[in-house]
Structure 1
Amino acid sequence: MAYKVQQVLWQEACDQLKTLRKAVYVLEWQLPETTEFDDLDSKAAHVLLFSDQDTPIATGRLTPSGELGRIAVLPGHRTLAVYKLLFAALLKHAELQNIKQIQLQSELASVKFHQAKGFKPVGKVFMEAGIPMQKMVCNRQNFDIPDVRHIH
């Protein structure tokens, strides 16, 4: 399947971004909608992936501080190819912005997985939407696909 990758601004594509993220986080994961959208949305770089029918199927964001998150891929499209395209686009933006370290928020269950991929825990465990999370960081050049089932 051929995909189209597009970097978008929140102000121009918020309807599409919200639809994807609501489908994954609010409806599927049952997270409160109030925790899904924040002030960083208007400042972050967003990527949309479109199917060959030009339907939005995935999104992710990169904040100005280098935090990857809000990775939302619709069921039926959760393949390694989709995740690789999504992360490649976000990492390309990080490179263009000279962001040297990539951060993510990992569920505690995935910390060891991320450590094996070169991520290091930073700070204390915190709660987000009732889920214990750990901030993790790695150098952009060493980035490898994280455990996408457990980041937000």
Structure 2
Amino acid sequence: MPDFLVQPVDFATGAEDLRKVREAVFVLEQGVPAALEWDGSDAACHHVIARDAAGAPIGTGRLTPDRRIGRMAVLPQWRGRGIGDALLLALLEQARALGWSEVSLHAQVSAEHFYARHGFVPQGGRFEEAGIEHQTMRRALRGATAIEQRSAAVAMTAALATQARRSLVIYSRDLDPGLFDAPLVLDALRRLATRLGPVEIRVLLHDAAAPQHALAPLLPLAQRLPSVFAFREIHDPVDRAWPSAFVANDTGGWYFRPLGHRLEGEARLDEPARARQLQEEFTRTWERARICTLYRALDL
């Protein structure tokens, strides 16, 4: 059981507790000027607060009227315990209850990977805010997210691996350099592969030689975990003519690319029917594919 509680709080009654956390994190720790931290819009925002077992405030977050998540803060001594995840999930739940179709946020660059694991994708370039480098990120709450650049593809693929329970399927031409060798994706795959309990990550390739020749970093990870990773190579001419690529997990998430040699496509984290459809298509092709004999030397 967690030793904290996250709940909505009205600013009129919770201002003092919110202030304790935000001033400790933003003003004292990060050096944000108090005049910027208290921007006058809190009364119009929806807030959530995390409290410890004694009721003391330890984390905050808010939704602004322009549908932006902000003021995500956790006291230093409480970090690494899942409080940030719980705050963010509570804010997303509130946003859905309000009927919002998407939310955005200005992520501190140091926290960009945290938001990416929750399905937020970068948009535009980085910028400075209150003397700290930030990145605009967005997440769709209804419908698919358009994937238009590499950073968005990396973020969504990492989110799919992070949110998978026990299985993930990857249909790729050659392990897509720039995507499956991205540190964020590799870390998410490693975390999934080393999770307690049975986990299966299946990878279908058009060209099994290309990742080997390129020394793709996913292969050494799979070598260390041969009971988790399985690779096959497509050889049926009809299957090889299929132009697309995709990733799908067992919690309803998917990322589909109409053209497998490009990263542009669409993705969702919460559409089980489409995820099952892609998994079924994957399984049919998997059964016709052959084991990657090139990887035998790697014990794959």
Same fold by TM (over 0.5)? yes
Pairing 1:1-150 to 2, within 5 Å after superposition? 1-107=2-108, 117-122=119-124, 125-140=126-141
What letter is aligned with 1:18?
R
- After superposition, the Cα gap between the structure-2 partners of 1:108 and 1:72, relative to the gap in structure 1 and judged at 3 Å, is closer
**Structure 2 residue matching 1:59: 3-state secondary structure:** strand
With over 3 angstroms needed to count, the CA separation of the structure-2 counterparts of 1:22 and 1:119, relative to structure 1, is same
Instruction: Tell whether the 8 Å contact from 2:122 to 2:137 is kept in structure 1 after alignment.
Output: yes
Paired AA for residue 122 in structure 2: K
Quote how far apart the aligned CAs of 1:83 are: 1.5
Contact kept, 8 Å, 1:58 with 1:73, in 2: the verdict is: yes
**Take 1:55 and 1:81, find their aligned partners in 2: how far apart are those partners?**
17
Of the two, which has the highest radius of gyration? 2
Change (3 A) 1:137 1:21: same
Q: 1:129 to 1:50 in 2, by over 3 A?
A: same
Give the superposition deviation at 1:81: 1.8
Higher relative contact order (CA closer than 8 Å, sequence separation 6+)? 1
Distance 1:118 1:130, change over 3 A: closer
Q: Which runs of 5+ in 2 are unaligned?
A: 146-155, 163-300
Whole-Å separation in 2 of the counterparts to 1:49 and 1:112: 21
What is the CA–CA distance in structure 2 between the aligned matches of 1:30 and 1:72, rounded to whole Å? 14
How far apart, in 2, do the equivalents of 1:126 and 1:16 lie?
30
**Structure 1 residue aligned with 2:298:** none
* Aligned amino acid, residue 123 of structure 2: P
Q: Matches of 2:77 and 2:16 in 1, distance apart?
A: 21
- Displacement after TM superposition at 1:47 (Å): 0.5
SS for the counterpart of 1:65 is coil
Whichever residue aligns with residue 22 of structure 1, its letter is E
Q: What is the CA distance between 1:79 and its match in structure 2?
A: 2.1
Unaligned runs of at least 5 residues, structure 1: 146-152
Aligned-pair CA distance for 1:133: 2.9
Q: Give distance in 1, aligned partners of 2:140 and 2:79.
A: 25
Q: Once the 2 structures are TM-superposed, how far is the Cα of residue 15 of structure 1 from its aligned partner?
A: 0.8
Q: Identify if the C-alpha distance between structure 1 residues 108 and 86 changes in structure 2 by more than 3 Å, giving closer, same or farther.
A: closer
Query: For residue 70 of structure 2, what is the amino acid of its counterpart?
Result: G
Once the 2 structures are TM-superposed, how far is the Cα of residue 51 of structure 1 from its aligned partner? 0.6
- Deviation at residue 22 of structure 1 after TM alignment: 0.2
Cα distance, 1:57–1:110 mapped onto 2, change above 3 Å: closer
**Percent identity for Structure 1 against Structure 2:** 31
Contact kept? 2:122, 2:135, Cα under 8 Å: no
**C-alpha distance in 2, partners of 1:128/1:3?**
30
**Number of residues paired by the alignment?**
144
Residues 20, 73 of structure 1: 8 Å contact kept:
yes
Of 125-134 and 4-13, more deviation after overlay is shown by: 125-134
Does the Cα contact within 8 Å between 2:60 and 2:74 map onto a contact in 1?
Answer: yes
Which amino acid is 1:20 matched to?
Answer: V
Question: AA paired with 2:5?
Answer: K
Task: Provide the rounded CA distance (Å) in 1 between the counterparts of 2:121 and 2:89.
Answer: 17
| 8 Å CA contact retained: 1:68, 1:103 | yes
Cα deviation, residue 23, structure 1: 0.3
CA contact (8 A) 1:65 1:99 kept: no
